[in-house]
């Protein structure tokens, strides 16, 4: 008999492959037949997000190994007596508010699912794309999308708020962006890393710098460089990483695979290559060079940071910080109909479908 996790996985995979078929049909309509399906895609996107909110929200506390941690304040399994001992300000606040209106765990999980998915939907609408559903398909294809929805939900909500904040930055609504960045930080302090890198990337004018950093990080990661010891010496940064990273330093192999991760390196490098090609060939077509430069540089720097954390347990938690940028790296391919060379939306569709299928089968 299937357990609840297996049943959830079947439902999630079914939803994914249905969306993939719809996306392929819409790609054909736009790129082959030249039809404008934006209104249809926006409607379907809302329907899909409602389905996903219900799917994530009604999964019960027995699906997702981190779900008991996500509901700990709501069910009062962990009491907080002083503010100084509180680490999850965002989750704690939402839990207290929700407790005043409901005792249902399903309702609370639905609230968390909405807080994760709604900012992503708003962000996609902000981009005003011709193919918003195809753009969402790219994000839906990556294994971390489900993980952030059922396990690392605090990081998932921070991801969504940061994602939405970037789209407001693109619309020159910087105040809203900063508010969303601040809220993201409240839910997961690690989001300060991509926020900081985003602002640094705006100031860098030479692509040589991120390329050198990326190459150096790969070499140091292969050599198992003790990056954590270096971080301990940097003011402010050491405070941000100390508490979380110390718990990952001496982790055993049976808990998490440590050392250089060719799978994660290949995954990030695949999109690094796509971003590099796009940076040199396509930025003039959409959103402007400065925006894409900021996104590509940020992705390159945080991917480098991710590689250097391979020697510590649960390094994929740092990988999420770089994966935030992947959908934005693919933006130029969502709207362009013309033959744009090495990459196009059809190739990226099948690449994402392949990646998703590989992770569903083997990981």
Residue boundaries of the structural domains of the chain? 1-187, 192-330
Q: What is the pLDDT of residue 75?
A: 87
pTM: 0.90
Rounded Cα distance, 287 and 252, in Å: 45
Classify 153 as helix, strand or coil.
helix
Q: What is the pLDDT of residue 298?
A: 95
Question: In tens digits, what is the pLDDT along the chain, a chain of 363 residues?
Answer: 678 999 999 999 999 999 999 999 999 888 778 788 999 999 999 999 999 999 999 999 999 989 998 998 888 766 665 555 567 789 888 998 999 999 999 999 999 999 999 999 999 999 989 899 999 999 999 989 999 999 989 999 999 999 999 999 888 888 999 999 999 999 998 899 899 999 999 899 889 999 999 999 999 989 887 776 666 666 555 555 555 555 555 555 555 566 788 889 999 999 999 999 888 876 555 556 788 899 999 999 999 999 988 877 667 778 889 998 999 999 888 876 665 666 788 889 999 999 999 988 876
Q: What is the pLDDT of residue 123?
A: 96
Classify 232 as helix, strand or coil.
coil
Q: What DSSP designation does 143 have? A: H
- Contacts for 42-45 with beta carbons within 8 Å, 24 or more apart? 42/125, 42/132, 42/133, 44/133, 45/121, 45/124, 45/132, 45/133, 45/136
Rounded Cα distance, 218 and 325, in Å: 19
For tokens 């005792």, what's the residue?
103
Q: CA distances (Å), 240 to each of 231, 267, 331, in order? A: 10, 26, 31
* Number of C-beta neighbours around residue 185 at 10 A: 18
Rounded Cα distance, 118 and 282, in Å: 30
Among residues 269, 303, 297, the alpha carbon closest in space to that of 283 is found at: 297
Q: CA distances (Å), 170 to each of 80, 166, 345, in order? A: 39, 6, 22
Rg (CA), the chain: 20
Rounded Cα distance, 136 and 150, in Å: 18
Q: What is the pLDDT of residue 363?
A: 66
Q: What is the pLDDT of residue 296?
A: 94
Rounded Cα distance, 351 and 357, in Å: 10
Rounded Cα distance, 259 and 142, in Å: 22
Among residues 154, 148, 111, 133, the alpha carbon closest in space to that of 37 is found at: 133
Q: What is the pLDDT of residue 83?
A: 57
Q: What is the pLDDT of residue 232?
A: 61
**Sign of the torsion formed by the C-alpha atoms of 290, 291, 294 and 299:** negative
């Amino acid at each position: 008999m299937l357990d609840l996790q297996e049943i959830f996985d079947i439902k999630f995979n079914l939803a994914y492959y249905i969306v993939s078929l719809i996306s392929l049909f819409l790609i054909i309509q736009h790129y082959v037949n030249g039809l404008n399906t934006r209104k249809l895609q926006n409607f379907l996107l809302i329907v899909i997000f409602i389905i996903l909110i219900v799917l994530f929200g009604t999964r019960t506390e027995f699906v997702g190994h981190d779900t008991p941690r996500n509901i700990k304040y709501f069910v009062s399994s962990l009491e907080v007596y002083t503010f100084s001992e509180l680490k999850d300000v965002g989750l704690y606040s939402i839990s207290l508010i929700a407790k005043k209106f409901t005792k249902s765990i399903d309702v609370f999980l639905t609230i968390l699912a909405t807080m994760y998915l709604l900012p992503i939907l708003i962000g996609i609408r902000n981009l005003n794309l011709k193919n918003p559903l195809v753009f969402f398909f790219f994000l839906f294809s990556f294994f971390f999308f489900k993980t952030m929805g059922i396990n690392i939900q605090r990081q998932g909500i921070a991801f969504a708020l940061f994602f939405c904040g970037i789209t407001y930055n693109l619309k020159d609504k910087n105040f809203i962006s900063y508010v969303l960045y601040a809220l993201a930080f409240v839910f997961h302090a690690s989001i300060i890393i991509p926020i900081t890198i985003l602002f640094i990337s705006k100031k860098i004018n030479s692509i040589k710098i991120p390329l050198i950093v990326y190459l150096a990080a790969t070499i140091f990661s292969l050599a198992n460089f003790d990056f954590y010891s270096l971080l301990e010496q940097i003011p402010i940064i050491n405070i941000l990483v100390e508490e979380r990273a110390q718990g990952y330093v001496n982790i055993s192999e049976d808990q998490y695979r440590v050392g250089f991760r060719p799978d994660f390196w290949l995954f990030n490098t695949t999109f690094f290559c796509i971003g590099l090609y796009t940076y040199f060939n396509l930025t003039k077509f959409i959103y402007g060079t400065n925006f894409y430069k900021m996104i590509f540089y940020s992705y390159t720097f945080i991917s480098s940071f991710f590689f250097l954390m391979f020697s510590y347990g649960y390094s994929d938690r740092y990988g999420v910080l770089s994966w935030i940028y992947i959908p934005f790296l693919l933006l130029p391919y969502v709207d362009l109909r013309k033959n744009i060379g090495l990459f196009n939306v059809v190739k990226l569709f099948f690449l994402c479908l392949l990646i998703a299928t590989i992770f569903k089968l083997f990981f």
